Structure 1
Amino acid sequence: MSDTASTRATRNTPDRPLVTAPDLLSSLAPLLAEWVPRQRWFAGKGRLITGFGLIAATELLPCTSDGSTPGLLHLLVRAQQSTPAGREAGSGDCYQLLLGVHPALPPQLAPAAIGRPTGGPLRGRTVYDALLDGRLCGLLLERLRMPGRLGTLRFRRDGDLDIPSGLPARPIAVEQSNSSIVYGDTFILKVFRRIEPGVNPDLELPRALADAKCARVPAPAAWFESAAPDSGGEASTLGVLQPFLPGSADGWQLALNALAVRADFTGSARALGHATAEVHTALAQTLPVTALRRPQLEAIAGQMNERLDATARAVPVLQPYRARLRSAFDALAAVGHDGRSWAAQRIHGDLHLGQTLRSAGEGRWSLIDFEGEPARPLAERRQPQPAVRDVAAMLRSFDYAARSGPAGGDPWSLEWARRTRAAYCLGYAEAGGLDPRSAPELMRAYETDKAVYEVLYEARHRPDWLPVPMAAIRRLAAGPAGGDPGGLGADGR
């Protein structure tokens, strides 16, 4: 990294010698090249990291002390990766890193260790994932309590929610595409890892829903963002603090529990359909709604076909079904030929049972995690979409549960999925006024597109799960009957 690039990335903190040191990133790069690819949130799996570029660096807590107090360093780095033959080289993805710096890491933090730089300003000290250190997570909360600017970072507050000081921090250990910390039983902070310029939908949409007085989604209490030099003047959302819902159970686990004891889930699914429709209605009232006509529908179908072709190249097991799956996208393109149009609005974008919570007392459903599918570009995730896209994604989630639970896709669990899917659609229609099954071409196309996405995801991250979306691929390739939103096809596949 050149002296000029280092100075530009840290121009707002010239009095901090560590972040302006030109050899900071070069000394960390060998450690990060080993650690970053192993993280669940790293999007560039399968391609070699060839280097890193520093976008911004800020000391949240001084890292130059030789005492026992840890330092906290915030980095935005761009991972430079090898490019497959025949493809144009890109600039690489930007990642947010919060690094703890300690002379001697305590034993309880050993799993968080990244390594010890052999040179540079952190030479000889241990660098580790700060989001696994409760003390440093507590410091991050204090920054969020006090709006202001530090270097390229801006900490902001919204609403009247009080954020108490000194709440104990508990990192959520489950693997996910971002990192989350729970503070007491009061707040949860989501820290985004892959960063793009622009407001993240997980901040934008809950704020819009709060304005619409929709109680189905926790309203943001605070957030932080970056105005790094390469963002084109547009702030990038880095993390969002929202109320935590203690005692709530996520819909995925509730569905698996019902399957384990062969219990009916239609009442819960119907209520969840109500909640989804309420959120869609509130978003349509608060944010712009557009109409999709023939050119837009043809463009959407073309993008779906491109994703299908790309996935079939990456996952050869999909190849035999490609031509038959394409018919679903062709039917979507044909919808506009007779003058029909469909409303498009802001939606959740990655709705599934794991993105829902049901309260322990009154059994009220809430929707969370409005980031959208992290693999898609931010600009695409912020585009208006037909509401049936969320519905189709939830139907896929019921299918996943039926094939992932103890029953493992036996006839009873497949019938459970058929009835549950139908109940969800009924609940949605009751609360939203439009039965999603009245748009079969859109439903089939979006469910097929979601199943294709799942095939690529599972092939890359969880190969043992690949049979689950492949069962849906076989069903959907059978034609419109196999894509019936209320069922799973005549053969249950």
Structure 2
Amino acid sequence: MGDLLDLLAVWMPRQRWYGTKGRDPRLTVVADWTLDADTRLLLVRDEAVQPAIVYQVPVARRPEGSVPPGSLIGPASDDDVWADATTDPGFTDQLYSWVTVGGEVGTPENGFLGIALASPGPRVPAPRATAKVLSGEQSNTSLIFRPATADGAEADAQDAGIPVICKLFRQVNPGINPDVELQSALAAGGAAFVPAAIGEVRGSWVTPEGVPVSGSLAFAQEFFAGVEDAWRVALDAAAADEDFAARAHALGASVAGMHVALAAQFPTREPDDADRAAVAGAWERRLSIALAEVPALAPYADRIREVYAVAAAAPWPALQRVHGDLHLGQVLDTAANGWVLLDFEGEPLRPIAERLQPDVAVRDVAGMLRSFDYVSGAVADDDGAAVRAWVIAAQQAFLAGYAETAGPDRAVDDALLAAFELDKAVYEAIYETRNRPDWVGIPLAAIGRLAPLT
């Protein structure tokens, strides 16, 4: 096992889902589940950062030269190598079976359980499927399962079964992942604005302190093939100067419907002084970081704090479960269901305990408004005024659709919305300065509008 851990310590930092870039991993084994003679599912604890992070790493031992180059972890013997099993049929076939049929490995104290969630009906998974890793993901690994024939070829018949996307959570935490919890509840309640939930995998392990815990390992849902996300749809519409008001209005209605459904299915509570102080403290911490890294923000610091102070004293809605990381890239444009919302995991860098707590629903509304604003910076157009007008019209239509569906009891307070928009723009200023300096003008322009200098 020591040799494999040494190989993983070199291989993991090169993966997009590894969260501690710039440090050498310090790995220990948390769980080691044998699936067959040559396939194992590992949980490894990385203590290079505190708090330590537990990663899920399925591995397969295969003949040298038989695995895709990007999956190669390192040598296992003179003739065999270790590979990332997410590209290996020996693992992906079992994963598909766990989420569509069910199954158990190990013991309740140190094992994992596949749970099929899909109810009988016309839209059910195929009995067998081919798997392909979805490219471009950052913090997890998703596999697309498409219906297959008995000989392993991809099935053409529409009645063979629906395609499935299964997200393998690379960072594993005790407790149910909000992506599993919220989407499963919404789908079970009949919501058309989320994909159908297919199945999940939950694991049990023991912490270094000897405490037994369990948590989410994977989540599968219906996959909508051949569709665009709302970001691409909005970009194309803005570039062509197409009226997007009706689509934005419908999107606002879908987001409001999500909030109404979540408030009905999960506990809510009125915010107290401690809640307000916690949110205001987070705003101030983010602003302090931004002022240290983005010198152009300095003239706006006092005005930003004034906006925050007004919002802290404004009426707040009841706290409830929210999406937590909503933007146009988290929405699909589907023919059958209209706008479909995805990825309820929340901001991956926030502790899981925070992501499971009731929050301010306005956070999601502000995130979507900021996402629309980014369209103006991403569209190559000489007439900036025309694109800006498109963005404003889309934002206003989105808010109108949200208000009509949410109702007067859930009216969005302007001061609170402005503060959450501003906080998001401050975060964006930090991100762009660190990663895309040419884009920092987008959040800076928004800050100028939201906190204008007198």
TM-score class normalised by the smaller sequence: 0.7 to 0.9
State whether structure 2 residue 13 is matched by structure 1 residue 53.
no
Contact 1:179 1:192 in 2 (8 A): yes
Contact 1:182 1:189 in 2 (8 A): yes
CA deviation string 1:384-414 (max 9, x = no partner): 1121111000001101122112338822212
- Aligned counterpart for 2:333 among listed residues 358, 365, 379: 358
After TM superposition, the structure 1 = structure 2 runs for residues 91-102 of structure 1, keeping only pairs within 5 Å, are 91-102=51-62
Partner in structure 2 of residue 484 of structure 1: none
Contact 1:56 1:77 in 2 (8 A): yes
After TM superposition, the structure 1 = structure 2 runs for residues 150-299 of structure 1, keeping only pairs within 5 Å, are 150-151=105-106, 152-161=111-120, 162-184=124-146, 186-230=163-207, 232-299=211-278
Contact 2:192 2:337 in 1 (8 A): no
Residue identity matched to 1:203: V
State whether structure 2 residue 79 is matched by structure 1 residue 103.
no
CA deviation string 1:305-335 (max 9, x = no partner): 1233245446666556444433332222223
Partner in structure 1 of residue 283 of structure 2: 304
The 1-side partners of 2:276 and 2:346 are apart by 21
Q: 1:110 to 1:313 in 2, by over 3 A?
A: same
Partner in structure 2 of residue 344 of structure 1: 319
Mind listing any 5+ residue stretches in structure 1 that lack a counterpart?
Answer: 1-23, 64-71, 83-89, 482-493
Q: 1:316 to 1:278 in 2, by over 3 A?
A: same
Contact 1:247 1:359 in 2 (8 A): no
After TM superposition, the structure 1 = structure 2 runs for residues 327-406 of structure 1, keeping only pairs within 5 Å, are 327-335=306-314, 340-360=315-335, 364-406=338-380
The 2-side partners of 1:325 and 1:428 are apart by 26
CA deviation string 1:435-466 (max 9, x = no partner): 98741221112112222333444455555544
Instruction: Report how far residue 298 of structure 1 moved.
Output: 2.4
TM-score normalised per structure 2: 0.87
- Aligned counterpart for 1:44 among listed residues 20, 42, 50: 20
Q: 1:179 to 1:464 in 2, by over 3 A?
A: farther
CA deviation string 1:147-172 (max 9, x = no partner): 23213222112241543332111211
What is the SS of the residue equivalent to 2:176? coil
Instruction: Report how far residue 379 of structure 1 moved.
Output: 1.0
CA deviation string 1:211-251 (max 9, x = no partner): 43222112322101111101943321111011112343210
Q: 1:101 to 1:453 in 2, by over 3 A?
A: farther
Partner in structure 2 of residue 29 of structure 1: 5
Instruction: Report how far residue 271 of structure 1 moved.
Output: 0.6
What is the SS of the residue equivalent to 1:240? strand
Q: 1:313 to 1:193 in 2, by over 3 A?
A: farther
The 1-side partners of 2:238 and 2:191 are apart by 31
Q: 1:341 to 1:476 in 2, by over 3 A?
A: closer
TM-score normalised per structure 1: 0.80
Instruction: Report how far residue 264 of structure 1 moved.
Output: 1.8
Instruction: Report how far residue 473 of structure 1 moved.
Output: 3.5
Instruction: Report how far residue 285 of structure 1 moved.
Output: 1.1
Instruction: Report how far residue 363 of structure 1 moved.
Output: 6.8
What is the SS of the residue equivalent to 2:135? coil
Contact 1:425 1:435 in 2 (8 A): no
The 2-side partners of 1:443 and 1:133 are apart by 47
Partner in structure 1 of residue 154 of structure 2: none
What is the SS of the residue equivalent to 1:374? coil
Mind listing any 5+ residue stretches in structure 2 that lack a counterpart?
Answer: 147-161
CA deviation string 1:93-117 (max 9, x = no partner): 111112232121336x122222225
The 2-side partners of 1:408 and 1:244 are apart by 38
- Report % sequence identity: 37
- Aligned counterpart for 1:126 among listed residues 64, 81, 85: 81
What is the SS of the residue equivalent to 1:49? coil
Residue identity matched to 1:262: D
Instruction: Report how far residue 124 of structure 1 moved.
Output: 5.6
State whether structure 2 residue 108 is matched by structure 1 residue 149.
no
Contact 2:45 2:52 in 1 (8 A): yes
Residue identity matched to 2:349: A
What is the SS of the residue equivalent to 1:325? helix
What is the SS of the residue equivalent to 2:285? helix
The 1-side partners of 2:433 and 2:348 are apart by 16
